[in-house]
Amino acid sequence: MKRSIILVLDSFGIGATEDAVDFGDVGSNTLGHIAERCARGEADNGERSGPLHLPNLTKLGLGKACEESSGTFPAGLDAGAEITGAYGHAKELSSGKDTPSGHWEIAGVPVLFDWGYFTEHSNSFPKALLDRIVERANLPGYLGDCHASGTQVLDDLGEEHMKTGKPIFYTSADSVFQIACHEETYGLDNLLELCQIVREELEEYNIGRVIARPFIGPGKGQFERTGNRRDLSVEPPSATVLQKLVDEKNGEVVSIGKISDIYAGCGITKKVKATGIPALFDATLAEIKQAGDNTIVFTNFVDFDSAYGHRRDVAGYAAALEYFDKRLPEILELLAEDDVLILTADHGCDPTWEGTDHTREHIPVLVTGPKIKAGSLGRRETFADIGQSLAEYFGTSDMDYGKSFL
């Protein structure tokens, strides 16, 4: 029985890539810097304290993969632990350091074209585009129109939005058009409808995603984003290994969390929604228990990125990693004879880095299962090595990019 479980710890980079210089990210290291802060006692919060404690991920080779990526073994992890998995680190071929690029490349389809970006920090969106959106969606106007952190922008403009009914438009270094609206005063359906209009109007701008950012709360300082976020992505430029498994092998691909949104539903046969790392973890366990032959169970743990990486919350990121690590054996126990478990990431988001954007980093490629030989997979030239390995494992046609490590 062939099954693969892919767990993406969104933004969990393990050291800057050679081309990080093009992104202003030389020296970034999401894991390395979190571990350093923890070891110095600078990442204590109510939930955790002291050196970073990730014994299960360390056994799978996380520390060694980070060392091979960056030259430094992460502070506080056990350098002498016996390694039971195959571990490596991978470079990104795609032009951007964003979520769709990272995920598509993992599935064997790197993004070799350039996305469109809204590079101006204020008045970010073209006037002609905004005019069309206002007209089509019959809006009283809009707020924002700038680069922003999605939580800060709620404090700055949330109350005005509630008063005026004008949606908040913002973007970032990513190829995104983000729209924040109050779930109760503006309404979730209205927001999703607006996002659909914006998605259509962006056709000529080559923008990767429109993101609906619903929030709740009575006023400044009390706003919270809800689990009803939706990502409206364009479709991957060619068939991913997910699509090939479905089309060529009549296989199943189970999306947990925002995976389906990121692939615009392409190659997904079942969608499971869950919010927050504990619920995503529970859903993953439940789906592994049910999964049959020729199945991929694919989970994105977005909170590492959205709740901790972008928020530059080192202690929060560390606590979330420790939670994940503690529960990892529950998944390992479910692995059947031929199963292949892959733990990886889609880009970095170093919480010690300046600004609030992603960082161009190697991703970890941790592979385990009863038949997987322990040891180093070294530096992989592209995230697509994962997709190519899955193509080989499931016996689909080859991907155009990547080299199998199986």
Ligand X SMILES: O=P(O)(O)O[C@H]1O[C@H](CO)[C@@H](O)[C@H]1O
Binding site for Mn ion (CB under 5 A): 10, 99, 305, 346
Residue 176 interacting partner from ligand X, Mn ion, none (CB closer than 5 to 8 Å by kind): ligand X
Binders of ligand X among residues 93 to 122 (CB under 6 A) are 99
* 346 annotated as ligand-binding: yes
Q: Judged by CB under 6 A, which of 72, 84, 95, 149 binds ligand X?
A: 149
Using CB distances below 5 to 8 A depending on partner kind, what does residue 4 bind out of Mn ion, ligand X, none?
A: none
Residue 102 has phi, psi (to 5 degrees) of: -60, -45
- Under the criterion CB under 6 A, does residue 214 sit at the interface with ligand X? no
Tell whether 155 is in a known binding site.
Answer: no
Q: Which stretch binds ligand X (CB under 6 A): 12-20, 173-181, 284-292, 395-403?
A: 173-181
Q: Which residue is nearest to Mn ion (CB)?
A: 99
Report, in Å, the least distance between residue 262 CB and ligand X: 10
DSSP assignment of 10-55, as one string? TT---SB-GGGGGGT-TT--HHHHHHHHHHTT----SS--SS---H
Contact 388, 50 (CB under 8 A): no
Cα–Cα distance, 170 to 147 (Å, whole number): 6
Query: What phi and psi, each to the nearest 5 degrees, are found at residue 52?
Result: -65, 130
Instruction: Say whether residue 275 binds ligand X (CB under 6 A).
Output: no
189 annotated as a binding-site residue:
no
- By the 8 A CB rule, do 177 and 118 touch? yes
What 8-state DSSP symbol labels residue 306? Answer: I
Q: Which strand (E) or helix (H) includes residue 398?
A: none
Q: What's the chain's Rg over C-alpha atoms?
A: 21
- CB-nearer residue toward ligand X: 172 or 243: 172
Q: How many CA atoms lie within 13 Å of 295's alpha carbon, on the beta-carbon side?
A: 18
Shortest spacing between CB 121 and ligand X, in angstroms = 13
Q: Which of 56, 69, 306, 368 binds ligand X (CB under 6 A)?
A: 306
- Which residue positions form the known binding site for Mn(2+)? 10, 305, 310, 346-347, 358
- Which residue positions form the known binding site? 10, 305, 310, 346-347, 358
